Structure 1
Amino acid sequence: MSLRQTLRGTGVAIVTPFTHSGDIDFNALENLINFIISNGVEYLVALGTTGETPTLSKEEKTDIVTFVFEKVNGRVPIVVGMGGNSTHEVARDLEKMPLEKAAAILSVSPYYNKPSQEGIYKHYEVVAAASPKPVILYNVPGRTGRNLDAATALKLAHEIPNIGGIKEAANNMVQCMHLLKDRPDHFLVVSGDDDLVMPQLACGMDGVISVAANCLPERFSNMVRAGLAFDFKKAKELNDSMLEAYHLLFAENNPAGVKAFLAELGLIQNHLRLPMVPLSEGLAKKVKIYLKSVAS
Structure 2
Amino acid sequence: MGALLTRRTHGVYIIAATPFTESGAVDFDSLDRLVAFYEGHGVTGITILGMMGEADKLSPEERHQVVDRVLARTDLPVVVGVSDPGLASLCALGRYAMERGAAGVMVAPTRGPAREDRIEGYFHAVAQGLGADVPLVYQDFPLSTGVAVSPALIRRLSQDLPQMVMLKHEDWPGLTKISALRDHEADPAVARLSILCGNGGLYLPQELARGADGAMTGFAYPEALVQSVALHAAGQVEAAEDLFDRYLPILRHEQQPGWGLALRKHILMRRGAIACAATRAPGPRLGARDIEELERLMRRTEIRLKER
Question: Please, what TM-score do these two structures have when normalized by structure 1?
Answer: 0.92
For 1:23, the aligned partner's letter is A
For residue 118 of structure 1, what is the aligned residue in structure 2? Answer: 117
CA distance in 1, matches of 2:257, 2:124: 35
For residue 258 of structure 1, what is the aligned residue in structure 2? Answer: 264
For residue 141 of structure 1, what is the aligned residue in structure 2? Answer: 142
Residue 34 of structure 1, aligned match among 36, 59, 62: 36
Question: Please, what TM-score do these two structures have when normalized by structure 2?
Answer: 0.88
In 2 relative to 1, CA 110–71 (structure 1 residues): closer, same or farther, beyond 3 Å?
Answer: same
SS at match of 2:202: helix
1:32-55 per-position Cα deviation (integer Å, ceiling 9, x unaligned):
100111111111001111100110
CA distance in 1, matches of 2:43, 2:246: 18
Superposed displacement of residue 97, structure 1: 4.2
For 2:78, the aligned partner's letter is I
Residue 196 of structure 2, aligned match among 190, 199, 221: 190
CA distance in 2, matches of 1:92, 1:142: 27
CA distance in 1, matches of 2:95, 2:225: 35
Given that 1:154 and 1:179 are in contact with CA atoms closer than 8 Å, whether structure 2 keeps it comes out as yes
Task: Quote the sequence identity (%).
Answer: 22
SS at match of 1:148: coil
Range 277-286 or range 100-109, more displaced: 277-286
Superposed displacement of residue 100, structure 1: 3.8
In 2 relative to 1, CA 103–292 (structure 1 residues): closer, same or farther, beyond 3 Å?
Answer: same
1:203-255 per-position Cα deviation (integer Å, ceiling 9, x unaligned):
1111110111xx21222210111123331111111111111122221214342
CA distance in 2, matches of 1:233, 1:283: 33
For residues 114-263 of structure 1, the aligned pairs below 5 Å read 114-131=113-130, 132-171=133-172, 172-183=174-185, 184-193=190-199, 194-212=201-219, 215-253=220-258, 254-263=260-269
Superposed displacement of residue 290, structure 1: 2.1
For 1:79, the aligned partner's letter is V
CA distance in 1, matches of 2:23, 2:98: 27
1:1-27 per-position Cα deviation (integer Å, ceiling 9, x unaligned):
86243x311111100000111100011
Given that 1:43 and 1:78 are in contact with CA atoms closer than 8 Å, whether structure 2 keeps it comes out as yes
CA distance in 2, matches of 1:226, 1:4: 21
CA distance in 1, matches of 2:39, 2:294: 23
Q: After TM superposition, where is structure 1 displaced by more than 3 Å over at least 4 residues in a row?
A: 85-89, 95-100, 183-186, 279-283
In 2 relative to 1, CA 200–19 (structure 1 residues): closer, same or farther, beyond 3 Å?
Answer: same
Superposed displacement of residue 93, structure 1: 3.5
1:37-90 per-position Cα deviation (integer Å, ceiling 9, x unaligned):
111111100111110011011110000000000011x1x111111112333442
CA distance in 2, matches of 1:237, 1:13: 24
CA distance in 1, matches of 2:93, 2:35: 25
SS at match of 2:47: strand
For 2:101, the aligned partner's letter is K
For 2:24, the aligned partner's letter is G
For residue 17 of structure 1, what is the aligned residue in structure 2? Answer: 19
SS at match of 1:79: strand
Superposed displacement of residue 96, structure 1: 4.2
